[in-house]
Amino acid sequence: METNSTHYIDLITRCFFGEASPEDILELEAWVKANPENAALFSEYHKTWKALENSKIQSSIDLNLEFNNLKSEIRNPKLEIRNPKYKPPNPNRSEAELGGAKSEIRNPKSEIISLVLRVAAVFILLAVPTFFLYRYLAVPAEKQLAASTETIEQTLPDGTVVTLNAGSTLSYPSHFEGAFRRVTLQGEAWFEVAHDRSKPFIITADNVRIRVVGTSFFVDTKTRNDTKEVILSSGVVKVYYNDKPGTMAMLLPGDKAELITGGYEIVKTANRDVNYLAWKTKRLVFTSASLNEVVALLTKVYHTNVRLSGAGLSDCTITATFDNQSLESVLNVLKATLDLQIRNTSEGIELSGHGCNPAR
Domains 142-270 and 278-352 belong to one CATH topology: no
DSSP string over 111-155:
HHHHHHHHHHHHHHHHHHHHHHHHHHHSPPPEEEEEESSS-EEEE
Residue 270: pLDDT band with limits 50, 70, 90: very high
The domain segmentation of the chain, as residue ranges, is 5-58, 63-135, 142-270, 278-352
**Predicted structure pTM score:** 0.62
Helices (H) and strands (E) in the chain, counts: 9, 19
CATH no., domain 142-270: 2.60.120.1440
pLDDT tens digits along 94-109: 554 545 544 445 555 5
Return the CATH fold of 278-352. Phage tail protein beta-alpha-beta fold (3.55.50)
Greater pLDDT, 22 or 221: 221
Residue 114: pLDDT band with limits 50, 70, 90: low
pLDDT tens digits along 126-167: 444 444 444 445 556 789 999 988 999 999 999 999 999 999
Kindly report each contact of residues 273-276 with a partner whose C-beta sits within 8 Å and lies 24 or more positions away, as own/partner: 273/231, 276/218, 276/231
Residue 283: pLDDT band with limits 50, 70, 90: very high
